[in-house]
Amino acid sequence: MNAKGYNGIPRELCQWITFLCKALPPRSIGTFIELLMGAMLTSTGFVTDALLVVNMRNHWASYYKWLEEGKWSWLGLARQYVRLVLSCIPLDELYLIIDDSLVLRASKKAPGSQIHHQHGNKPNLAAYVRGQCWVSLGLIAIRSDSMPVALPVLSRLIPSASNTGKLVAAKTLIRSVYSLFEGVKVRVLVDSWYMRRIFIESMMSHGFDVIGQVRIDTRLYDEPPKPRKGQRGRPRKYGDKYTPKRIAHLKRTVKTFTLRGKQRDIRYRSKCLKARFLNGRLVRAVWCEYKSISGHWKSARLLISTDATLSAEQIIESYRFRWPIETLFHELKQKWGLKETWQQTRQTLHRWVHITMVGFGLIQLLSCISNEKVTALCDHSPWRKESPVTAGQIRKGLTFILRHVAIRQWWHPTCKIFKPPDWGKDDQYEIEWLKTG
């Protein structure tokens, strides 16, 4: 590839990689850049395939040794990536998503490999399968076309022999990065598995609000009446219990929302009540029913928000941001190779998985910005009338430019800048941003 061809690379990508390199020791930066770009361009999760995409400088064994014994922190890299996202995307309200995913395995020797209940109810799988359970933390970004995109932040592998469960893993992920969100309104979106008192109280101790779905028969109560003057005994903690008959008497509203890219009719009821499983905390409860494509109303679902000041519409609008994490899991496992990460130790597996996640996150960030070069990267299929700006299309465009390129030579250790060889004097603004960004 001649130097002229590198003009198609977005400058933001070089700036972001320079920013991420600040989290690594100087001796590790060259190896990290080669592995990051290889993981970004390949569709499999094998380290060898990532090395074959770029023009690697060292022997292939040195990259495996760096992953296994290198003096660097994958948690520090993930925190630096969060700082990058917060600096690139203006966020008045930040949405964090916690969910778990199962990666199938055949070997008993794989780290964290054990038998799990396949709660996805997929017809082509058994009820119990062997695999690795990952608890992941995602962050929501809004693209230029107003579509929410989930960016991977951290993942934790559930060990096969300990008392560490998914709730403990979720709290650990939040505890690792919560200090980076100071001054930002944060809402955590979870499903019914994580709507437990121990998890919700942990999030509230960090100043975060929680919105999630709970069981439809969750015990909810009215606020108790104020005690009369001179009344003896301890004042009541709960009022009357909310039963299905009382719920049916609430005012029902029908409104159209945008869910999963489609217009869906939802009818809902709402009220501020006290939750028994939260030791009497006042919450906003929303009973909502979705209208199916066939025109039938589905069974009611119960959403709860620890921020009782939110309206029912705001809770439904916020909870819809939880669905992009399902697409995130699909992309990571099927198109970015999470299902093919075969490292033999837990530490090495976490390191390579997070390099892959950062590479995927950088491509997703490119799809969230309005840039002519990003649009040009997606214009590689002449038979398409319109070229959609997606992470997969951007990766194909970058592969045409960066395949078998000596990417390590783009790192300048003196000025500590990652830039292509065709940057000249006209790029002084970008160079100054890289030094101070």
Instruction: Please state the length of the chain.
Output: 437
Predicted local distance difference test score (pLDDT) of residue 230: 77
Rounded to 5 degrees, φ, ψ at 310 are: -75, 145
Beta bridge partners of 97: 138, 189
Predicted local distance difference test score (pLDDT) of residue 179: 93
Predicted local distance difference test score (pLDDT) of residue 423: 62
Distance (Å, whole) CA 310 – CA 85: 26
Q: Flag residues of the chain having pLDDT under 70.
A: 1-5, 143-146, 161-164, 422-437
Report the run of H or E that residue 52 belongs to, with start and end. Answer: helix 47-53
Distance (Å, whole) CA 338 – CA 286: 36
Beta strands in 143-184 (DSSP E): 148-157
Predicted local distance difference test score (pLDDT) of residue 420: 84
Q: Please choose, from the candidates 20, 188, 8, the residue with its C-alpha nearest in 3D space to the C-alpha of residue 96.
A: 188
Rg, the chain, Cα only: 24
Distance (Å, whole) CA 66 – CA 54: 17
Distance (Å, whole) CA 402 – CA 146: 30
Those residues with Cβ within 8 angstroms of residue 360's Cβ, 6 or more apart along the chain or in another chain: 39, 40, 152, 331, 332, 336, 391
**Residue 10 amino acid letter:** P
Q: What is the dihedral sign for C-alpha 84, 435, 415, 367?
A: positive
**DSSP secondary-structure letter at 333?**
I
| Residue 237 and residue 224 in contact, taking contact as beta carbons nearer than 8 Å | yes
Predicted local distance difference test score (pLDDT) of residue 4: 45
Those residues with Cβ within 8 angstroms of residue 126's Cβ, 6 or more apart along the chain or in another chain: 118
Predicted local distance difference test score (pLDDT) of residue 434: 47
Distance (Å, whole) CA 277 – CA 332: 35
φ/ψ bin of 139: left (φ > 0), alpha (ψ from -120 to 50), beta (otherwise) = beta
Domain with CATH 3.30.420 in the chain: 90-211
Rounded to 5 degrees, φ, ψ at 276 are: -70, -40
Pairing mode, strands 185-190 and 209-214: parallel
CA angle 95, 325, 437 (to 5 degrees): 55
154-186 CB burial, b ≥16 within 10 A, e <16: bbbbbeeeeeeebbbbbbebbebbbeebeeeeb
Rounded to 5 degrees, φ, ψ at 162 are: -170, 180
Q: Where are the alpha helices (DSSP H) in 89-186?
A: 166-177
The pTM score is 0.90
| Residue 273 and residue 283 in contact, taking contact as beta carbons nearer than 8 Å | yes
Rounded to 5 degrees, φ, ψ at 218 are: -60, 135
**Residue 179 amino acid letter:** S
Those residues with Cβ within 8 angstroms of residue 212's Cβ, 6 or more apart along the chain or in another chain: 189, 190, 191, 192, 194, 195, 303, 304, 319
Three-state SS for 338-371 is HHHCCCCCHHHHHHHHHHHHHHHHHHHHHHCCCC
Distance (Å, whole) CA 27 – CA 396: 30
**Residue 384 amino acid letter:** R
pLDDT in tens, 149-181: 889 999 999 987 666 689 999 999 999 999 999
Q: Please choose, from the candidates 365, 336, 371, the residue with its C-alpha nearest in 3D space to the C-alpha of residue 81.
A: 365
Pairing mode, strands 148-157 and 411-412: unpaired
User: Taking the domain 90-211, which CATH number applies?
Assistant: 3.30.420
